Structure 1
Amino acid sequence: MEGPEGLDWVATREAAEGRGGAHAPSDPLDHPDHLRAADSAATEALLRAYVRETHVDVPGPGGVLHLPLPCSALTLRVPVRHRSVTGWHRFGAVQVVADGQGRGSMPGDVGLVAAALVRESTLGRGVLPHLGGDAVARVLNSAARTGAHLVRRRVEKPGARGATPFLDAEQALLLGHPFHPAPKSREEASDSELDAYSPELRGEFPLHWFAVHPDILVGESADGRTPAELLRPLTAGLGQQPDGMTVVPAHPWQARDILARPAVGALVDAGLLRPLGPAGPHWYPTSSVRTVHRPDADVMLKLSLGMRITNSRRNNLRSEMRLGVRAARLLAAGPAARLRAEHPEFGLLRDFGWVSAGLEGETGLETAVRDNPFKTGGPQGLCVAGIVAERTGPGDGSPPAYRSLLSEAVARTARAHGVSTAEASARWLAAYLDVLAVPLIRLQAWYGIALEPHHQNTLVALDAHGLPRAGWYRDSQGYYVAASHAAAVERLLPGAADGLDLVFDDAFVDERVAYYLGINNLLGLVGAFGALGLADEGDLLRVLRARLERLRAAEPGARGLLDLLLDAPVLRCKGNYLTCVDGLDELVGDVQSQSVYVDLTNPLAEAHR
C-alpha cells in the first residue's frame, strides 16, 4: 500500500516501530561501511539545504532531481526517496554527468558534490570561486566527524543509553542539523580531544581552572550574588586554592587556546591570572558542545569555546551574558509568575549569572551559569533536536529498531492508546503545541518578549505513553523585546534595555520568531514526522494550523506573528548553506546581518487553500 508522499507506508511504519527487519526499505544511512553511510548523510543534508535556499523544485518520490551546474559543466542526478512539503526531503545516491560527454555518469561523493554546488554559488553569483574553498573544507570536515560518530556508536551494545535520559537526547545528534551543509564540522581540535569533547561520542572531561585576582574578577547575577559567590558551590571540592584569589572554570580546549592570546598572556605575566590545570568531577558536553552538564550539579555551565563549530566560533560575548542576566531579572518582574500560573508545565531555563577574568573586553574565560532542573531523580527534558535526530542502522545493512527517539515515542503512544501511527503522531504534535509553542507565543503576546526557540533550544519531557507533558526553553543568546511593548517592559524593570540590543521593531521580531519557532521548530517537526514515515505532512499541517488559528482568536497580542505564520505566502528563512558559502560567523556583527536569509513558500498558508 502506498501512503502519503508516495512512501511504502506499511514497510516504513513497521521499520519505525521496529518490525521491518530485512524487509524494510533500504536506506543509504544504514550502509555497513560507516564512511559510506556518513557520506550519504552529509550529501543529503547538503542537497536539502541547497535546494531550499536556491528554490529548486523537487519532484515526487520515485522521480529524479536534475541539478544542472553550468559553472562546473556538470549535472547532478539525484533519486528522490521522499518529497517533503516542509523541505525535509530524502535523497538517494547522486550520479554526476559531465555535460557534453554523452550519457555516462559517475557516483557523486560528498566532496565532488560540495565542490560543484559551492562553485555554482560563488562563480554563479559573481564571486571568485576560490573563496568557496573554506565552505567545501567544512563540509568534508563535517562528513569525517559524522563517520567517527557512527563507527563509535555502532559498536555500542544494543539498547545502550546515555547516563540520563536528558544526556541521551543531547548525545543523539549523530548526523546533525538536517538543513545545514556542515552540521558536524569542528575545526582545530585533534581526534583525541574530540573524543572527550563530543557529545556524540559520549565524551566527558574535568574543567580547567584559573586562579583570578580580585582586581580582575568580573561578572554579575540576577539575584545579586558576586562572581565568587556564584562559583563557590562549584569549587568546594577542588582542594587548596591560591590565597586571595578566586578560581574560574574554562573548557580545556579553550584553556590551551587563550594562553596564546596577548591580553591573557599579559595577565599571567602580571600575576593576576594563574592557570591551575584540570581538576574536579567530570562534566558532560551537551548538544551545543560548549554547554556542559552534571546530573548532580545545581547548574549547567555555558563555557566559552573559540573552536569553529558549523558556521561560528563559540566565544561567549559579555553583551550576550549581560542580556541573559537582564532577561532573568525581567522575567522575575512578573512574566515568569504569569507563565507558571497559566502554563505550569512550561519553564524557562535562565542564564542567570556569569563570570570572567579581565576588565577590558572578552578574554575567553567568560562562563554563563544556567539553571539545571534535569538532575538525577528530577524531570528529564529531552532536546527536541535529539528527539527528531535520525539514527543509522547497527552496521550490518539493516535499519535501526527505531529511526529516532520520536519514532520510539510515537510507537509507545500508538500502543498505549490503541490508535494508528498517524493518529498517534497527530496527538503527539497537539500535546507538543500545548506544552511548548503556546506558552512561547503567549509570552510574546503578553509582554512582547520573544525568543529563538529552534530545536536545539527547546526541550520536552514525555509521559509514560510517549506524549509531551512538559516543555522548556533555554539559551539567553536570543532575546528580543518588540518595540510596541518597550514602555511596558521599562515599567516592569526600569533600565531593562539600557546598554543592550534588546528592543527591535515589531515586524523584525515577528519575522525572526516566524523563522525560529515557525520554520525551524514547528514546520521542522512536521517535516521530521513525514521523513520518518510516521504521518502525512498535510494532515499534521492542518492540526498545526487549527491550533494556531484558535490561539490567534484568543490572543490579540499574537496577531502580528500568527498572521505571518498562517497567511503570509512566503516566510523569511535563515540560509545555513549560503551563510556557510559566504563565510559569515553568525555570532559576529549586528543581529540583522549575521546570516543570509531567503524567502520560502509558506506551507501553512498553502494548507489553507
Structure 2
Amino acid sequence: MTHSTQPPAAAAPAGRPDPLDHPDVLRAADSAATETLLRAYVRETATDVPAAGHDLQLDFPASGLRLGVPVRYRSATGWHRFGDPVVLGTGRDVPPPADVTLVASAAVRESTTGRGHPAHLGTDAAGRVLNSAGRVAAHLAARRAEGDGTTGPTPHLDAEQALLLGHPFHPAPKSREEATERELAAYSPELRGSFALHWFAAHPDIVVGESWDGRPVADLLRPAAAGLDLPAGTVPVPAHPWQARDVLDRPEVRQLIEDGLLTPLGPAGAPWYPTSSVRTVHRPGADVMLKLSLGMRITNSRRNNLRGEMRLGVSAARLLAAGPADWLRAEHPDFAILRDFAWISAGASGAETGLETAVRDNPFHGGDREGLCVAGLLAERTGPGDGSAPRHRSLLAEAVARAAHTHATSVAEAAARWLERYLDVLAVPLVRLQARYGIALEPHHQNTLVALGEDGLPAAGWYRDSQGYYLAESRAADIERLLPGATDDVELVFADAFVDERVGYYLYISNLLGLVGALGAQGLADERDLLRVLRTRLERLRAAEPGAKGLLDLLLDTPVLRCKGNYLTCVDGLDELVGDVHTQSVYIDLPNPLAEALR
C-alpha cells in the first residue's frame, strides 16, 4: 500500500456537516464504520495522515483501487476524523463514493495478500466489519427514536450504554454474530436491553468454584436467585440466556443433564442490564455484578469465561487483601479496584462447560458517587436525525463544558484540568501500585471508571476485570512473602520488560493518549497542549516515585512503543482470549508522541 497527499479537491471545511450526523441512519452508520476502519488501518500500516482540509490518498494494488479520503481532523495521537472516501481514477467528473463494503474488502484484501496470505482468508474479517456496521445502524436508529434527554436507569448504566459506535481503533467494534435481532434487543447495552438470568440447579457434587474468603459462592448468589423454585439439595448456577441455550449442545452438559446432576430451570428473578462488555451484567440494587460466560463471538473473541482467569481473579482479591488494598486506601482514597472475588460453575471435570460465572464487586447503586465507564464517557454521539450535530458530542464534552462554566474558564482550559484530575485519580495510583508491589493491570477505557464531581471534573476512579493482572518477575519473591502461594496455579508472573510493555499499551497508549485524542477530535482542546500536561505530570511522578522510573522512562523517552493492532488481529482471525498471552494479539510499533514532539 502506498499513500500520498494533495491539495483538498474534496476537503472537508470546518463548517461542513459531520457524516456521523447524516439524516439517513444507514448513511451515518456506514460513515462511522468506514471512519473507524480507516483510523485503525492507517495506524497499523504506519500511513502518514495529512493536515485537516487535505485528502489522504490510499492505494490498494491488490484490488486496483485508489481512494481519496478527506481529512476532517488530524490527530497527534491517531484519533483522526475522516470524511466519506471516494474512488479515484474512474474518469468521472464526480468520483463515486466508497462505502464500507468496498473499503473493508480492499483493506482486508491488501492486508492478507500483502502479507503473503491467500485473499480468501480475509473474508471472515470483512464480514465482521459489515456485521458491525449493521449493528451501529440499529443502535443509532434506536437512540434517535428515543428523543433528546433520554438516559439510562442510572448514571452508571447510562455510561455503559453510551458506546453506540464502539472502540475507535477497531475495524469491527460492534460485530455480534450468532444472535437474532430479538435476542440482540435484549442483550445489547446500546439498545438499553435487560433480561432475567437463566438458572440451572446443580447437584453439589458437580459444583466448582471458590471465593476469596472461603464463603460458599452459592450463598453469594442466593439474593440474585430470589423467587427461584430451586429443588431441595441443589445449588443455583446462573447463565446468560443465550449461553443457556448454547450449552445444551455441549456433550458434557448434555451428559450432566441426562445423569440427573444438572437441571435447567429457565429464566427467573428481576432483570439485569448488560454493561459495555455485553457479558457482564449489573443491577442497581444488587450487592454484586456478574461476569457471565457468553460464547457468542463479539469483535475478535468468543467471551467464554476460562476457569484459569477466574482463579486469577480470586487470587488477585486475596493478594490485594494482604496489603495492597489498604495501601491504596491510605495513599489514594479516591481510587479502588473492583474485585472478581468469587466464581462458580457446574461440571467438576476441570474443563469449562460454558456455565462459568465470576462474581464482582458492585458499589454502584444509583447514588451520587457513580462510576462511569471511561469508554462510554468518550464515546461519540450522533445528531438527532435532521442533519444537525448533537448539543454535546459525548458525555465527556458535556462534563468539560460543565467544568468550564463552573470554573469560569475556557473549554480548552477545562479540558486540561479534566486531564490533570483524571491522571491524579486514576493513572497515578496505577503507576504507584506497580512501583510499590510490582502489580500491573490492563486499564483500557472499558476497564476504567470515574465518578464526576458537581463541577464535571473526575473525583474518583476504579479499575475492573480480573483478566488483566500482571506481576513483575522481579517482585515475585516479595509477593510470595506477603502472601505465600499467591502465584500458585495462576498465570500471573511475567518478565518485567513484558509487563512494562503491556502497561505502555493499556495505560499509556490506549487510555491516556486515547483520552488526549478524544478531547482533541471533539474540538475541546489542542492535543499538543494536552500532551504537555501529560508529560509534565508523568515527569513529576518519575521524580517522586523511583520504583516507577523504568516504566516512566519507557513512556516518556522511548521513540517507539508496542501497540496492540486490533485491525491486524481481526484480519488474522485471532481470538484474543485463547492461547498464550504473548501471542493472543498482533502487536505493532507505534511512534511515541511524547518522545517525538515534546523533548
TM-score bracket for this pair, using the shorter chain length: over 0.9
Which is further off, 89-98 or 213-222?
Answer: 89-98
User: Offset at 1:378?
Assistant: 5.5
Give the equivalent residue in structure 2 for 1:95: 86
Q: 1:404 aligns with which of 381, 388, 394?
A: 394
Q: Which residue of 1 aligns with 2:417?
A: 427
| Cross-structure match for 1:240 | 229
In structure 1, which of residues 153, 158, 172 is the aligned counterpart of residue 162 of structure 2? Answer: 172
Task: State the distance in 1 between where 2:224 and 2:267 align.
Answer: 13
- Number of equivalent positions: 587
> Quick check: 374-383 or 552-561, which moved more?
374-383
Q: Tell whether the 8 Å contact from 1:381 to 1:472 is kept in structure 2 after alignment.
A: yes
Structure 1 residue aligned with 2:201: 211
In the alignment, structure 1 residue 607 sits paired with structure 2 residue 589: no
Q: 1:149 aligns with which of 134, 139, 143?
A: 139
Partners of 1:217 and 1:227 within 8 A in 2: no
CA–CA distance in structure 2, aligned partners of residues 122 and 456 of structure 1: 29
CA distances 1:181-233 after superposition (whole Å, capped 9, x unpaired): 00000000000000000000000000000000011011000011123222222
Shift of 1:524: 0.2
Q: Distance in 2 between matches of 1:355 and 1:499?
A: 17
Unaligned runs of 5+ in 1: 1-5, 13-23
Structure 1 position 106, deviation (Å): 1.6
**Residue 239 of structure 1: how far off its partner (Å):** 3.7
What residue is the counterpart of 1:370 in the other structure?
A: 360
Of residues 111, 114, 130 in structure 1, which corresponds to 2:104?
Answer: 114
How big is the alpha-carbon RMSD for the aligned residues of Structure 1 and Structure 2?
1.3
Map of 1:273 onto structure 2: 262
Q: Which residue of 1 aligns with 2:290?
A: 301
The aligned residue for residue 42 of structure 1 is 33
Shift of 1:98: 5.0
SS at match of 2:276: coil
Give SS of 1:39's match. helix
Secondary structure (helix, strand or coil) at the match of 1:219 reads strand
Secondary structure at the counterpart of residue 472 of structure 1: strand
Structure 2: distance between partners of 1:90 and 1:395: 20
User: Which residue does the alignment assign to 2:341?
Assistant: 352
Q: Retained in 1: the 8 A contact 2:474–2:496?
A: yes
**SS class of match (2:221):** helix
Counterpart code for 1:344: P
Work out whether residues 291 and 302 of structure 1, in 8 Å CA contact, stay in contact via their aligned partners in 2.
Answer: yes
Q: Secondary structure at the match of 2:205?
A: helix
Give the match's secondary structure for 1:220: strand
Partner SS, residue 285 of structure 2: coil
Query: Matched residues in 1 for 2:213 and 2:219: separation?
Result: 11
Whether contact under 8 Å (1:319, 1:500) holds in the other structure is yes
Partner of residue 541 from structure 1, selected from 526, 531, 543: 531
What residue is the counterpart of 1:250 in the other structure? 239
Alpha carbons 1:349, 1:371 under 8 Å: kept: yes
Name the structure 2 match of 1:21: none
| Offset from partner CA, 1:580-604 (integer Å, 9 cap, x none) | 0000000000100000000000001
How many Å separate the matches in 1 of 2:485 and 2:261?
33
State the one-letter code of the partner of 1:564: L
Residues 1:331 and 2:320 aligned together: yes
Aligned to 2:274, which of 260, 285, 288? Answer: 285
What residue number does 1:3 align with? Answer: none
Which whole-Å CA distance do the structure 2 matches of 1:103 and 1:552 have between them?
57
1:359 is paired with a residue of what secondary structure? coil
SS of the aligned residue for 1:255 comes to helix
SS at match of 1:159: coil
Question: In structure 1, the residue corresponding to 2:330 is in which secondary structure?
Answer: helix
Whether the aligned pair in 2 keeps the contact of 1:97 and 1:104 (CA below 8 Å) is no
Determine the structure 1 residue equivalent to 2:4.
none
Partner of 1:567: 557
Amino acid at match of 1:73: G
Determine what percentage of the aligned residue pairs are the same residue: 74
- Please name the residue that 2:73 is paired with: 82
The aligned amino acid for 1:328 is: A
Q: 2-side partners of 1:591 and 1:199: how far apart?
A: 28
Q: Distance in 2 between matches of 1:252 and 1:103?
A: 54
> In structure 1, the residue corresponding to 2:512 is in which secondary structure?
helix
Of the structure 1 ranges 363-372 and 553-562, higher mean CA displacement relative to structure 2 is found in: 553-562
Between the aligned partners of 1:172 and 1:104, the Cα distance in structure 2 is 37
8 Å contact from structure 2 (residues 155, 366) kept in 1 = no
Mapped partners of 1:544, 1:238: distance in 2:
51
Q: Deviation of residue 451 (structure 1)?
A: 0.1
Contact 1:73 1:98 survives alignment (8 Å):
no
- Distance (whole Å) between structure 1 residues aligned to residue 544 and residue 133 of structure 2: 46
Equivalent position SS for 1:106? coil
Q: Secondary structure at the match of 1:55?
A: coil
3-state SS, counterpart of residue 257 of structure 1 = helix
**Pick from 484, 490, 498: which aligns with 2:474?**
484
User: 1: CA distance between counterparts of 2:559 and 2:92?
Assistant: 41
Q: Separation in 2 of the partners of 1:443 and 1:198?
A: 34
DSSP-derived class of the 1:184 partner:
coil
Structure 1 counterpart SS, 2:175: coil
Q: Aligned residue for 1:576?
A: 566
Matched position secondary structure for 2:296? strand
Give how far 1:25 is off.
4.4
> In the alignment, residue 326 of structure 2 is paired with which amino acid?
A
Contact 2:156 2:366 (8 Å CA) reproduced: no
Residue matched to 2:434: 444
Contact 2:402 2:455 in 1 (8 A): yes
Q: Offset at 1:379?
A: 2.0
What CA deviation, in whole Å up to 9, does each residue of 1:159-199 have, x standing for no partner? Answer: 10000000000000000000000000000000000000000
Task: Show the counterpart of 1:385.
Answer: 375
| Deviation string, structure 1 residues 331-375 (Cα, Å, up to 9, x no partner) | 000000001000000010000000000012100000000000001
5+ residue gaps, structure 2, are 1-7
What letter is aligned with 2:240? H
The one-letter code of the counterpart of 2:511 is: N
Match in the other structure for 2:444: 454
Query: What SS class does the counterpart of residue 341 from structure 2 fall into?
Result: strand
Per the TM alignment, residue 97 of structure 1 is displaced from its structure 2 partner at its CA by 2.6
Q: In structure 1, what is the equivalent of residue 118 of structure 2?
A: 128
The answer to whether the Cα contact below 8 Å between 1:39 and 1:143 also exists between their aligned partners in 2 is yes
Q: Distance in 2 between matches of 1:326 and 1:201?
A: 35
TM-score, normalized by length of structure 1? 0.95
- Is this contact kept in 2: 1:31–1:396, CA < 8 A? yes
